[in-house]
A and B are shown apart, each in its own frame.
Chain A
């Protein structure tokens, strides 16, 4: 397998402060990779560098073997991106947004129409093709952005918080869509705040903290490192303590040693536990 993304020593400074700090990361072709990190860890900056919107201070990024800083215009045909914020042109309909993208990516006019209706069908928006962006729901906007990103058949797809603000049903639909794109051969680079999203989707996840990766592995292996079983001890009013154990036997043994007045929950650990332990801070609920 060849490398779709190859980042080495990537650094980005904003007014003296290192937002990305010597980042090294490789993503293989065909992989579904999750890029996690607390707010301000440097995820969006990294994605902006990978997608030619920001210039790195130091380091090197190769996308499908092409140097992003040296050959930005060539690299632009290799990837598609669904940005965190809505970046559709709100003066246009869904179909017109797609057509603009198709034109900008030089799809021949004979192919344009066919490809657009193909993609609209793929994200189930055919009936809404002629709706203006302001007149469709958040989930539809998200799907329209995914359709747009896939239009020029990119080998690599960046998804920056693709399900933020979506309801549970829509989120699962988008998940299915992501899995389908990946099984159709697209390499997917996903950033998300919802750790369970990465756990559900990704073969491998990296945790970014203060601008560099502190862990990269399959979600299951990361959990094994921490312990497959979590014990939560809620001591009244003083918050919650977490302990991790390799198996249930070890966890039960620990629980039996505890004084009886604490509320104790024993459960399987998850990627969010890994995330919180590794980054030393809570992301959700604080």
Chain B
């Protein structure tokens, strides 16, 4: 039963793949590439054949549930496995097995979290994700990446501990039942639930605990960033949707997130950092959808997660191709690449229009569902914030990013970067993601294609293709383009970084180090001096007293043996003169005396 369940779990496939990769690489490098494609394809097939519940094990008195499948789980499983395939194809040219192992374990962790039915299993896979993804940052092997990786790991370990504290508290409050990973009632929440929520929110990068994301993702490897942008935050969206639908705090924080992420995306210079900040913004829509909590909003959150994984990965792949080929990702150093990397340009623009929600792209059918859900739930303020963020999205990622990488007012002749389009496997990965970005945008009455909406947790009645919604979108996007046209000079990126809330722990760590090295060290030295001058003398005094007391008083009381041993030792010391002849002489004399004694005694 259990052995069957293990092989039923799609995470097992990826863990097996991770184990096989280095072995097969030794046989032949192309075997590694075969495995990289075969494993995700098997996983895509496997998730269609999962029973509703599997892998229920008893361990040390706890029920661990490794597999629980319903419609909410399936949406995420589906997109995660598809994304694993696209990411693997994009990374095929990387020969280093370590990177692939890290990304496979990361995917396994993500699938494990999505499938698990109790908090203990969730926690195990949660930490697997954190650790595996850290290696995707470290494999860039630059000083900045190593440092960013450590910060990333520390933040996630802290978040994991908060989550664990919540789980323990829940277990203490409710018992075994509390460990089941189910929906938490809106009015029945306790401190334990809030701790769990904070743990989840950290992975969803909800401000003010979001800064790990734009800090770490731009420092990851080119292929690592493609994986990372898909899994951590969207797994967090899944667990929030599972446990906390309808918590209004999430709706408000999600709406704030959308604007916060967009603000930084508008001002940032590093292309991958723009995209990383923009994840914060996009995940904001999903968190907001979860917070609104109506059937339509949850559908919207799932649809948006599905669409977002594919177009954000496409954008990371496009920008990653530029970084791979030119070694540059800063907008102020790029520009004029349109004739040198046209394929990457086309794909990035497809990602850009999908994320902005152009009609006939995936963003149009997913994002609008959340906005409409906010409107129908009479949350007009939140609806306006989400629409404003949509304007910022098109401004920053839809126009600014491709414009300054591929054009930037420079012609190809003016750009001094020598490069060409990326290798075939990168282009194939981008093409697959681009296909989904367009295909998901066709809904129902377009060619009878309704892949995304049919998969959502509850039946969909929402229709994005109304004339008013089309009109609203065309105006919003068109006039955002007009705003960019007016403001292009002000938007010109400059070679600076921008402060964010990671300041508190990056500079705060420095304050901690200063306190440790200056005041605490000074106190330490002072105490040390006091100890040397007063403490040690006092101790010696006390010790001398006790030694005297022991020798004179206790010894006298008992039998005087100690004193006689001491005086005997003194006499012995006079005998021990260090000359070997004398020792031999004494030894012979002693032996002689013993012999006489024995003879006489007999």
Partners in one complex: no
